[in-house]
Structure 1
Amino acid sequence: MTDTMITKMTAKELTRMVLDKQDLFILDVRNETDFKDWKIEGDSIEIINIPYFELLEGVDDILPRIPIGKKILVVCAKEGSSKFVAEQLAEAGRGDVFYLEGGMKSWSEYLEPVKIGDLKDGGELYQFVRIGKGCLSYMAVSNGEAAVVDALRMTDVFEQFAKEKGAVIKHTLDTHLHADHISGGRKLAETTGATYWLPPKDAEEVTFGYERLEEGRDITVGNTTIRIQPVYSPGHTIGSTSFIIDDLYLLTGDILFIESIGRPDLAGQAEDWVSDLRETLYNRYKSLSENLLVLPAHFGKVTELGEGGRVMAKLSDLYLSNPGLNIAEETEFRRTVTENLPPQPNAYQQIRQTNMGKINPSEDEQRDMEIGPNRCAVHDK
């Protein structure tokens, strides 16, 4: 067996296949529990799970389940097991066999930049799709300056992208204190000299300095002002803050998603924050322009990925189609957002502690803390 019999596929290449809806057969060799918890999904993806330990003696027994004439990708947690199985499949005569470089860890960390649209002064707004985790970050670029919203811990991606756009990152902003992933906002600010903004009601226990994200404090980017207008919108956390950029885009953080709404329980305050969540969704957002394009901080399902991988929808459309915005009775709303919720995110308490600056896990520890899907929405199962 030699490496020439198989080909590695990068997370970037896999992302393009998912977004372009190309046919792909995936053999996931992780254990059944990990597979059921979190797997690669896509409209044109067929996937099966056969744990690696069942394949140590060979792949002959599973060959009838492996298609001929189709691209085959073998995935595991880190890479080694998938490479071993891919070599066996290739040797057994299955052509076009790939293994995922870096395994599911690389899938979890890859960011795909997608242009959302132009800004009024000639600037641009980009969405960074973390397809393997369901996280979304944003960068507004204008006249040689940039602002990043809800940056992820892979900060080099944002630095490189800003450099390619000829822009200097001047501001990093978090819509709230995140519980499902480690924020890169503070780190990015430190490495670029940018100002880091955080809602003060979410920052009562943080151990570092920050600028207070409050209504009335517009943030400008570029020589011609793009208004990044903070809008206090509690419910997912007590400090959750949305942004209106250029009177065109509404960045909703983890309050409102395309197919669901934010959960209020990740800081142990579900009963206390339900009223805030309903007020934000049913009154505060309702008073905004219905033509605003909603850009959330997460997505839960591949069905929320639109053309080119964009995750966005008009606010008026969401008031028609989003189940979480169409619960007339307050008691039913309270029951929906506090009962029968999906499991809480992996290591969410440690992630909150990290984002407060109270603990400083290593890079490997941070990676392990984030493994798995995001679970910030009420209806994500």
Structure 2
Amino acid sequence: MSVKTMNVQEIAKRVVNKEDLFVLDVRNEDAFEDWKMEGDNFEYLNVPYFDLIEGIEPIQDKVPTDRDVAVVCAKGGSSEFVAEQLVEAGFDNVYSVEGGMKAWSEHLEPIKIADLKEGGELYQFVRLGKGCLSYMVISDGEAATIDAVRMADVFINFAEEKGAKITHAFDTHLHADHISGGREIAEKTGATYWLPPKDATEVQFDYKPLEDGEDVQIGSSKISVQALYSPGHTIGSTSFIVDDQYLMSGDILFVDSIGRPDLAGLAEDWVGDLRETLYKRYKDLSDELVVLPAHYMTNDEINEDGSVGKKLGELYQENHGLNVEDEQEFRRMVTENLPPQPNAYQEIRETNMGKISPETEKKREMEIGPNRCAVK
């Protein structure tokens, strides 16, 4: 009996549109508790696949019949088996999620942020399964990426569809929670790969040093991508001011949280840099700049149009991490509230340094799980 399938693109649309979905997750309990497909109007039931091999009796009365049910596992095989049993039992509203959580982890949802001057465009790529945010500036047939994630071809193909070629690939810092696509994009397109030199002391490849004040012009309309040294998450962390309107804050500042300073084991050293960036460097900027971070923590941070971002002035009013007047209290708040380290973060850092070159399947395994770059 054939089983209907649901792809991750459709699930992403439901998240963005805040539509409902019943998710039957048949992974082990610890995997589900660590990381799941999250939607504001999603309802969940987690029953491990091995509890259902002999039949669906344990869940038959718990699965609804009045709305769509998405059965998900790690890769798509176990979910198809469980969905088939449900269909045989008379459920006609059940779908197996194609590719499982691995496919969910890799899906990118492009959202147009704005039209820039003289026909330029700014896009945000929302990686719903990881909470990662990447960006592309397009102008006059040229494009630049900022914090592109591992799926390099998605960005290359998107630029081509827009009639543009990627000429610059920027990373705000050496990432530890996900594998960067910046270097691969540069290798495939001939683009210049920019990386902050203080984060690049151990890299095994050529790159263009990204120094404070560097102003790269995109296209003949010269859309500005200006570098602002902003350490704290890493020693080299560098933000960008795009078209004098948008602040790409990397992993320094998020909509509802701030960056963590410990992913190279230097929390006590870098927490001072973090405060200096948030309370002085950023404070000198215009309140009207729209902050576009490299991550988000929860779906509450997603705007009505599916994007993630907010004006800097509003964040100084609303984000608790920007409103701790006492420096020692700030230090305690940051260093004593650190979440668990991202999965495989040391291997991810070594991959982004070019020290190791894992196969694609290994990269997928390294990135499994939520992003953990924020302190709230």
TM-score category of the 2 structures, normalised to the smaller one: over 0.9
Secondary structure, counterpart of 2:211 in structure 1 = coil
Residues 117-172 of structure 1: per-residue CA shift (max 9 Å, x gap): 01122200000000001101000000110000001110110011000100010000
The answer on 1:64 being equivalent to 2:61 is yes
Counterpart of 2:142, as a letter, is: E
Give the aligned partner of residue 118 of structure 2: 121
Give the aligned partner of residue 186 of structure 1: 183
CA deviation after TM superposition for structure 1 residue 308, in Å: 2.2
Unaligned runs of 5+ in 1: none
**Contact 1:69–1:95, Cα closer than 8 Å, also in 2:** no
CA deviation after TM superposition for structure 1 residue 309, in Å: 1.2
The answer on 1:163 being equivalent to 2:151 is no
**Contact 1:74–1:82, Cα closer than 8 Å, also in 2:** yes
Give the aligned partner of residue 36 of structure 1: 33
CA deviation after TM superposition for structure 1 residue 61, in Å: 2.6
CA deviation after TM superposition for structure 1 residue 216, in Å: 2.7
- Taking the TM superposition and a 5 Å limit, the aligned residue runs for 1:1-381 are 2-3=1-2, 6-379=3-376
C-alpha separation between the residues in 1 aligned to 2:184 and 2:19?
36
C-alpha separation between the residues in 1 aligned to 2:144 and 2:229?
19
Secondary structure, counterpart of 1:243 in structure 2 = strand
C-alpha separation between the residues in 2 aligned to 1:217 and 1:325?
26
Counterpart of 2:310, as a letter, is: A
Counterpart of 1:356, as a letter, is: M
Counterpart of 1:257, as a letter, is: F
Secondary structure, counterpart of 1:308 in structure 2 = coil
How many residue pairs align between the two structures?
Answer: 376
**Contact 2:122–2:136, Cα closer than 8 Å, also in 1:** yes
Counterpart of 2:196, as a letter, is: P
CA deviation after TM superposition for structure 1 residue 95, in Å: 1.7
Counterpart of 2:45, as a letter, is: I
C-alpha separation between the residues in 2 aligned to 1:324 and 1:47?
31
Counterpart of 1:256, as a letter, is: L
C-alpha separation between the residues in 2 aligned to 1:218 and 1:22?
42
Residues 245-295 of structure 1: per-residue CA shift (max 9 Å, x gap): 011000000000000000000000100001100000011000000000000
C-alpha separation between the residues in 1 aligned to 2:18 and 2:239?
32
Counterpart of 2:294, as a letter, is: A
C-alpha separation between the residues in 2 aligned to 1:30 and 1:82?
9
Secondary structure, counterpart of 1:126 in structure 2 = strand
TM-score using structure 1 length: 0.98
Counterpart of 2:76, as a letter, is: E
Moved more, 6-15 or 247-256: 6-15
**Contact 1:242–1:252, Cα closer than 8 Å, also in 2:** yes
C-alpha separation between the residues in 2 aligned to 1:364 and 1:323?
39
C-alpha separation between the residues in 2 aligned to 1:92 and 1:333?
56
Secondary structure, counterpart of 2:30 in structure 1 = helix
**Contact 1:299–1:311, Cα closer than 8 Å, also in 2:** yes
Counterpart of 1:135, as a letter, is: C
Counterpart of 2:373, as a letter, is: C
**Contact 2:254–2:293, Cα closer than 8 Å, also in 1:** yes
**Contact 2:7–2:97, Cα closer than 8 Å, also in 1:** yes
List structure 1 runs of 4+ shifted beyond 2 angstroms: none
CA deviation after TM superposition for structure 1 residue 331, in Å: 0.9
CA deviation after TM superposition for structure 1 residue 329, in Å: 1.0
**Contact 2:40–2:299, Cα closer than 8 Å, also in 1:** yes
Counterpart of 1:378, as a letter, is: V
**Contact 1:347–1:370, Cα closer than 8 Å, also in 2:** yes
Residues 205-253 of structure 1: per-residue CA shift (max 9 Å, x gap): 1011111111232101100111100000000000000000011000000
Moved more, 165-174 or 57-66: 57-66
Moved more, 187-196 or 211-220: 211-220
